[in-house]
Chain A
């Protein structure tokens, strides 16, 4: 158990809809990163939040957006869902500034877009 919790665990949406995924970081962690993992691929970095601001972004379109709250929890929002958005969405928390900073992943949200 990493202490990183994600909700929901599974979700089914249709193309064009919007979705919000949630993540609670491990106690003491101040940074949250989001990754997308398509079937048969490794996780791909979407973006990271630190001090409630986006602090780095991967190669994802603007319809992928996020928030971080004062308690360091985070949301990932995806608008105008496409079939290719079907994937496992992983949230990872860490404590920026620690030596040998490590990421701890939640168990993910499996999103299916029909």
Chain B
């Protein structure tokens, strides 16, 4: 079983749609959680951290359920520029800043 699992997609949605991505992680010792965005073969960029209380950044909402070891990302009012691969990322902590990435979910927003 992979440490971080995501639905690979692709998700093809029209502009303005709401889309949700889910992710599960296997290590209950995981301490911090993130969503990264990656455009085609470019570097991953931090989209947002994910907190147990849930957090929102504009059109993006992230949720964490530690009991179920489940993370989600909701994108409202999708824009063409949201087209990218979304990577679910966890850090189990310790001395090294070792991030474990999921394989990513590909999103295409259609005009």
Contacts and interface: CB of A to CB of B under 8 A. Distances in A.
A107 B42 contact: yes
B1 interface: no
Interface in B90-110: 94-104
B46 A56 contact: no
Contacts of B87: 42-43
Measured as residues with beta carbon below 8 angstroms from the partner, the interface class of chain A is 20 to 34
B103 A105 contact: no
B6 to A, nearest CB: 8
A88 B98 contact: no
Given A100-B49, A102-B46, A103-B46, A45 B98 contact: yes
B45 interface: yes
A50 to B, nearest CB: 8
30 contacts: A2-B43, A33-B97, A33-B98, A33-B99, A35-B101, A40-B103, A41-B103, A42-B4, A42-B89, A42-B102, A42-B104, A43-B87, A45-B98, A45-B99, A45-B100, A48-B96, A48-B97, A48-B98, A55-B96, A56-B98, A88-B41, A96-B97, A100-B49, A102-B46, A103-B46, A103-B99, A105-B45, A106-B43, A107-B43, A108-B41
Interface of A: 2, 31, 33, 35, 40-45, 48, 55-56, 58, 88, 90, 94, 96, 100-103, 105-108, 110
